[in-house]
Every structure is written in C-alpha cells, then in structure tokens.
Amino acid sequence: MSQIEIASLTPFEARAEASALREKLTRWDLAYHQADAPEVDDSTYDSARRRLLAIEERFPELARNSPTAKIGAPVADGFGKVRHGVPMLSLDNAFTEDDVREFENRIRRFLALPPDQIIAFVAEPKIDGLSISLRYEHGRFVRAATRGDGAEGEDVTANVRTLIAKGKIPESFEAAPDVIEIRGEIYMTKADFLALNQAQETAGDKVFANPRNAAAGSLRQLDSAITASRPLSLFAYAMGELAGDVGASHSQFLDRLRAWGFPVNDRIRQCLGADELLEHYAAIGAGRANLDYDIDGVVYKVDRFDWQQRLGFVSRSPRWAIAHKFPAEQATTVLEKIEIQVGRTGALTPVAHLRPVNVGGVVVSRATLHNADEIERKGVRVGDTVIVQRAGDVIPQVVGVVADQPRGETDFVFPATCPVCGSHVIQAEGEVARRCSGGLSCGAQVKERLRHFVSRNAFDIEGLGDENIEFLVDGGWIKAPADIFRLEAKNSQGLQRLQNFKGWGEKKVAKLFAAIAARNTIALERFIFALGIRQVGEATAKRLARHYGTFQSWRDSMLAAVPRENDAYHDLISIEDIGPSVAGDILAFFAEDHNLKALDDLAEQITIEDAQVIEAGDSPVSGKSVVFTGELVAMTRAEAKARAESLGAKVVGSVSKKTDYVVAGPGAGSKLTQAESLGLTVLTEQQWLELIGG
C-alpha cells in the first residue's frame, strides 16, 4: 500500500493490522526456516513485512519482533544445538532504487560522513539456499551449524563432512587464524535439482518444489548417508567468530577465502556508491536466467571492517548490509472460494483458494486476503480471474482482478457471525480487523491461543500439533494452558484415558507426557511471549523480561501500573518500543480477573526462570538504565545507543526514578530538568565516553 494510505491509518487501525501481520510473519518464518516447507512466496512475505515496517515507522510504539527484529526459527528436534559465537543475522531488504540510495544515506548519517566521502561496497549475488557456518580452529574443520534462530543453530557437522569428502569444502588450510567461522550458502544447481527430482520420481519418493527446498532438506538429514547421496555445493561469503587477522576489508577477506580454497562467487564486485551498485544489480538481473543456480537478489555490504564495526546491528540485521530483491513473477488464475479463518485474538481472516497455477515453476493454490477492506479495495469476487505473483516459493499474493475477463456474479459478503461458534462479529471503531465476540467461548480462539502457547518460540511442546490440540480441546481434556501440565495426572486418575482413543497408543501418550514434562521450566521471555498478549511479540517479551528480571517482579509491576499515571506505569512506558499503545494492551490483559487467574494457575504448574543478564565483560554500565538527551558530538545518537547496548546497558526513552545515567549534550531540555529534579546521575558526553572506556 502507498505511503498516503499508511499516513491515513488511525492508531486503532494500525494496531489491529500490525497484530495480524505479526501473527502471519511468525508462522511463515517457522515454515520456511525450520520445516523447509514455505507457506508463502517471497513476494507475499516481503510485502507483509514492508507493510509492518511502514506501520511501525509511523507508530513507533508498535515496533516489535515479528519478524522485523527476528531471525530464522528455533532448532528442530533431532539435531544437536550449537550456540553461535557471533549471531547469524538476517538482512533487511531493498526493493527500489530509492531504497538503495536511502541505505547509502543512512550509513552516511550514522557515521556522520561528509557528502563527498565515497563509500565502497561489495555487491554479491544473493544465493537462494541454506545458510551455514563452518568453524575452523588452527586451520582445521571442527564443526558446522545451520542458522537456526540466529543465536542457536543445528549441528550438521557429519553432513557437511560429506561435502568435504567430495572436495566441495576444504578440510584444512594454511596461514589460518586461530579461530574462524566461515559462513556461506549451501545450494543445489538447477541441473542437479532436475536430476535429483527425476531420480526421486522414478523411485516413488517425494519430489522437491525448488532447488532451495532440495538443498535445505538434503543438508538437514539425520542420516548423513542421505546427504552424501545428494549433489550439494557451497558459496562462501562471510565470517562469524574470529581470533586472528583476515585483512581490513571484506574484499580482502574474500581474497583470503579464495586463497584458502573456498568457493567464492565469481560475480562479486566492489562498487563505489549507489550508482555502481545499481548498475551491477541490473547486470546480474539481466543474466539471471543463464545462471545454473537460483538467486533472488543482490547483497550490498560496506567494504571497510572498521565502518562495519561502528555501524553495528539492529535487532535482526546489520546496519552495514542490505539485500536488493528482484521483482516478483506473475501469472493469472481463477479465484474459486474465499474461506474465513478465526485467529487466537478472534480476528477473522479471509483466505483465497485459487485454481492451481504454475508461477515461475511452482504450483500455487492459496493466498491470504488479510481483511474485508483488502477484498473491497481490490474488488475481488469469487469466480474472478486474478493476477497472482510470487518471488520464490509456494503461495502467491493476489495483486488484483483481470478486468477484461468474466467477473464473479456477486460481491463477497463478510459474515456477520463467527463461522466457528456463531457469535456476533464486531469491529471496533477505527480498527481494520473484524473479530468474533465469543472470546474464550469460541472454540477457534481457544485452540489458536493454545497453538500459540505451545509453538516453537513459546513453550515448544512437541506432540501438540494442530490435530492433537483440536482433539484435546474438543474432548474437554484441556481448556487453558495450565491444563496441559495437569494432563498426565488427569489421564492417570480418570476413568476415560487417552490410550482408549483411536490413534492414541501407549507410546504416543508417553511421548507426549515426556515432552510436556520437559517444558516444566521455561525462560521468562518465552513465558511472556507464550501468553499471547496483543502487541507483545518476541522482542517486546525480551525487553519486558530483561527490564523486570523475574516473573513476580513483572506481575507485581503490571498490576501496580494498571491505574496508569503512576511510577509503575511510567517505568513501563520508559522501556524502548513500549509506548502507551503496547502498554495499554499489556495492562488490559492484567486488568481482567480471568486472565490473572489463568496466569497464576499456570505459574503454579511450572518453573519460570529469571531473565538472563547480558554478559558484557567488565562493562561498568552492564544492566544500567541510560537516557540520551540533547546533541551528541563525538558520535551520532544512533551510534551512541548501539554502543551502549553492546556493553549491556538498557537504553530507555524517558527519565524515571529507576534511570541510572542521563547523558546530556547541548540543547538538553525537559529530560535534563527532570533528571536533576530526581537527583539522578547526569553525565556529559565526554564523561560518558570515559565511563565506558572510549
């Protein structure tokens, strides 16, 4: 949607749409990164993410992690876990020339570079494969791990050794640093993909949708013999943890990789400024069809390592790199049906069922239509011929109606009652979403809330998939989260047992109870996220956990803040990215007696771990709350904030009694006055730099 449309959103509309987008993006991330079975194509995902980012830019209090500050997905069961020494981050995307020029301008502003300063970049084809990190110690290979959720990946060492045996990756190399993690992309060539699918079909086995899925599925095999039989390749292009020297720039590092025997893409170029980046992007795009591997864009990286270090990272991506994506592919098909699905917050989402169509080599059959306004805006009717587009995987985006084709007879009428429970459908003033008024009496909402509760990024309980949740709720076994942890006792004490039902054998039941017992202890941030509070995604849950430290402190502080306009409330909204809107939804949750009862009931069944304190060495500001106000001279505000957070400090937006330091530069106003009235420690910029060691 256009920026004019973004500008016209009311706060209510923005909050509702952002909530719906976060739910979709979280689900899509899990399907893509963990199951190697994408639910949507790149274009649909990118469009939804751009929309959410635009909303968050206009309404900063709505900014959260779903996935604008999120990477990948958690490690799947069956693999050992590897903690990355340096997080494996995702990349922000650019889609237009203006986006690329703004990327360059953001770097210039952050580093306070003069207008005539030339910025050197490295431009690399964006390989459509599976990210991998290869750890070498004293020049010898020791371990390989997938991206996972960015912090923790899957140990695929045995599988990667099959590539070493084929000579695709060096087992050792000379003149190596003491430790280096070499990162790249495991991919499958188009020719190898076609040959593999032909062999799979002949053998009566599963065929793969595209080379990316084939590569990811082949590498993530529990049996390394299967991986050894698959034709995988690697392009190396980055590094993680490093103890040693690899040069002063990314270009020099790539030269080292080539000298060490790692395959580096031959279409990588150094470019000076945005104009050269765009020229190289056009050249790669023009030759894309002739490549024997899939790419979906071009990655731009600041070349100088010292500038990369200063630029640092936001929550999910480096500031010094961006992926310039290629346009989506399109086709036309018939919209056969619109189905209404009910989410955990009661939001009714229309889903388009399409006559299957091949778009860029992939058959697609469904698309989300978001809400009633989206259907009306696009003028979509059942029976219409519609334009659909995709950029990489399975489900398309409905772009619009083909005007010169026969139209459906009638406009789609959004239901006035919930298709699941029959309750009235309501639409709050100013909100886009229409919701079922049934609340927890609506079976769909109960089930969706429980699905969220047991999902990978929440309690992550294996064996409680969609079908089993459906069965357990319909059978009256569970109604609320705490019931999950009483399920084994209920089963052993009751006359009717799970083992008596078809499909629930002794082994399945025992495995489920073991999985539930394994989640009796949970980190505070995951617990908060699992509650499904509106506007509380993973990033917000982490900030709440880190700020309050313990479950009891968080619970007590939220109850104290419910009346608003007191110290507890102001402390809550001082947390970064938690403004009045997000705080309102959190406190609305705590204001309901039934929510508080369910919360305390759940807390009695499990152990909630205290939040982990960020390790920042001997930093004197680790765990301290810091406010920056006024003009900074030695560095930009963005760089100062990033530096403070890297040292373990909590940068907050407003002054309260709990603020440890207020860093005040020239022009400091009301925040400085408030800090002085509260008797807080006020530092000049120079004093702050001396405190943190430069």
**Quick check: bond before 67 cis, omega within 30?**
yes
Q: What is the mean pLDDT of the chain?
A: 86
135-145 per-position pLDDT tens digit: 999 999 999 99
Quote the CA–CA distance of 82 and 240 in Å, as a whole number: 13
The correct CATH number of 523-609 out of 3.40.1390.10, 3.30.420.40, 1.10.150.20, 3.40.50.300 is 1.10.150.20
**335-373: b (≥16 Cβ within 10 Å) or e:** beebebebbbbbbbbbebebeebebbebebbbbbbbbbe
With residue 241 as reference, give the H or E element that holds it. Answer: strand 233-243
**Which H or E element spans position 305?**
helix 305-311
Average pLDDT over residues 81-104: 91
Mean pLDDT within 260-273: 97
**Each residue's pLDDT tens digit, 187-217:** 999 999 999 999 988 888 888 878 998 999 8
Which of 285-289, 345-349, 468-472, 620-624 reaches the highest mean pLDDT?
468-472
Domain 625-692 falls under CATH 3.40.50.10190: yes
pLDDT at position 394: 44
Q: So what's the pLDDT on residue 2?
A: 37
**Residues that are catalytic:** 126
pLDDT at 4: 38
| For the chain, domain boundaries | 81-325, 523-609, 625-692
435's CB contacts (< 8 A; 6+ apart) are 345, 346, 347, 348, 425, 426, 427, 428
Helices of type H across 91-179: 97-111, 157-165
Each residue of 4-56: pLDDT tens digit?
Answer: 366 666 766 677 777 778 777 776 665 554 544 556 655 566 677 777 877 87
DSSP assignment of 97-110: HHHHHHHHHHHHHH
pLDDT of residue 74: 46
What does the pLDDT look like over 276-327, one tens digit per residue? 999 999 999 988 888 999 998 999 999 999 999 999 987 678 999 999 998 8
The segment with the largest mean pLDDT, out of 213-217, 236-240, 364-368, is 236-240
> How far apart (Å, rounded) are the C-alpha atoms in residues 657 and 679?
9
Least confident of 248-252, 410-414, 431-435, 557-561: 431-435
Whether 542 contacts 457, CB under 8 Å? no
Give residues with Cβ within 8 angstroms of 281, minimum separation 6. Answer: 100, 123, 298, 324
In CATH terms, the fold of domain 81-325 is: D-amino Acid Aminotransferase; Chain A, domain 1 (3.30.470)
- Mean pLDDT computed over 62-82: 58
| Mean pLDDT value across residues 550-574 | 92
Q: What confidence tier does 618 reach under pLDDT thresholds 50, 70, 90?
A: low
Q: Which alpha helices (DSSP H) does 361-465 contain, by range?
A: 372-378, 443-453
The reply to whether 81-325 and 523-609 are identical in fold is: no
Read off the pLDDT of each residue in 541-567 and give the average, rounded to a whole number: 92
Taking residues 609-632, report their average pLDDT.
Answer: 79
The larger pLDDT score, comparing residue 342 to residue 239, is at: 239
